[in-house]
Amino acid sequence: MKTLIKNGTVVNSTGTASADVLIDGETIAAVLAPGSHLLGFDIEKNVDTVIDATGKYVIPGGVDAHTHMEMPFGGTNASDTFETGTRAAAWGGTTSIVDFVVQYPDQNVLDQYHAWHEKAAGNCAIDYGFHQILSDVQDSSLVAMDELIKEGVSSFKLFMAYKGVFLSDDGQILRAFQKGAQNGALMMMHAENGAVIDVLVKQAIEAGNTSPYYHGLTRPWQAEEEATHRAIMIANLTGAPLYVVHVSAKQAVEQIAHARDLGQNVFGETCPQYLYLSLEEQLGAPGFEGAKWVCSTPLRSRAEGHQHHMWQALRTNDIQMVSTDHCPFCMKGQKDMGIGDFSKIPNGIGSVEHRMDLLYQGVVEGNISLERWVEVTSTTPSRMFGMYGKKGVIQPGADADVVVYNPNGHTSIGLNKTHHMNMDYSAWEGFEIDGHVDTVLSRGKVIVDGDEYVGAKGDGKYFKRGLSQYLI
């Protein structure tokens, strides 16, 4: 099966060019000057499908490196399955995800890894890989890290919060980081001071401050900054590379930037919610409405300038990429578990469908460049997590994960508009995007065509990742 995408503007992280893209099977075969001939053959007459991208951008498919499909958490499970979540991702121009295998205390790491393969296999609309969460770091966990790298799982996440659920103490973190320094793994950190947060939450509930707004107030930026600094110091001590997930506070960004200025392999991601949403407007919504936006790290105060600083950090590469931390829950039967006690609200926001659009709106509004849009949503995630060359770039030999994006189109986000995630509300209700995902190809197969999903369950394959390609 040969496909020609003609007359488009190809956008890579390194620049743009008017070009045609020839796809042979699952792979990009050539990137050519518009109307080129190969060995005297008229290419257009010798392919099976022609996609006219006149006036449109041709970009590498999005790579969302932080999702939680079917994640068990807080007495329930994330509402998106691998089937529904990856289909929604495809609708939004994301063609690869890296999901988290969950290991709770006393669970066997390798058993959990195999359980996640069983959940995902044959169900995904797009390609997928795995990170591994480590909770109670035991000798067996360290052995498992070596085994998982052979399986293409080259990144491991630890938590400084959620006592009794995920939290690892500093000694356990040290041991895992030492192993990461030995085997080349990228160590990931949920950086919040859990002990401080637990006291603040208890005090708030006892004082009768139970609304979702207090979720934000009891997870202050100081708890994020301190934990980020502590993780950086442990990484510095061990020599392990560190990737800080879902950075929301400008003070945490400053810690990452300082470490990078000193030459340390420290990286950070942010998420769309920390670029657009706020403590005052969303968590502070009337009644229980703020529960829709309860996530951790929490939304930050717009008055304190966190959102502005996060856009700036993306421009200066103090923050390297944007993922979603997609962990959706419905209001009815899930988020409403926390009525009268915000600490019982399942933490998570659904965004996997909208990340590419939301970041493109940043281009429209002058917050980032067109090339930087591709870089933070596709190229850097691919490099960071050992997929680059096959993912994250329009070039010969790469997987034909391609999005035709229409800058003259329009996307209205809302539950009864473009919403395909398995949720009973949209965290992005009412957002208007000056652009539209027109066509999505996953390894050469068209899976979204205009306003129609034409892919199938099982189109996606497991991607065996290598070590990070982003280290300095």
Give the pLDDT mean for 127-147.
Answer: 97
Please report how the helices 221-238 and 194-206 are oriented relative to each other, as an axis angle in degrees rounded to 10: 160
What's the pLDDT at 35? 75
Using CA atoms, how far residue 270 sits from 65, 299, 339, in Å, is 11, 11, 28
* Gyration radius of the chain over CA positions: 22
Model confidence band, residue 52 (pLDDT cutoffs 50, 70, 90)? very high
pLDDT tens per residue, range 59-109: 999 999 999 999 998 889 999 999 999 999 999 999 999 999 999 998 999
> What percentage of the chain carries pLDDT values higher than 90?
95
What's the pLDDT at 18? 97
Q: Which residues pair with 299 in a beta bridge?
A: none
Model confidence band, residue 364 (pLDDT cutoffs 50, 70, 90)? very high
pLDDT over 90 (residue 36): no
pTM for the full predicted model:
0.97
Give the pLDDT mean for 253-260.
Answer: 98
Contact 136, 164 (CB under 8 A): no
Q: If residue 86 lies in a helix (H) or strand (E), which one and from where to where?
A: helix 82-91
What's the pLDDT at 38? 62
What's the pLDDT at 39? 54
pLDDT tens per residue, range 215-243: 999 999 999 999 999 999 999 999 999 99
Q: 217 exposed, middle or buried (CB, 10 Å; 0-12, 13-18, 19+)?
A: middle
pLDDT over 80 (residue 389): yes
pLDDT over 80 (residue 37): no
Contact 202, 192 (CB under 8 A): no
Average of per-residue pLDDT values in the chain: 97
What's the pLDDT at 269? 98
pLDDT tens per residue, range 280-298: 999 999 999 999 999 999 9
Q: In 373-403, which positions are buried (b, 16+ CB within 10 angstroms) versus exposed (e)?
A: bbbbbbbbbbbbbbbbebbbbbeeebbbbbb
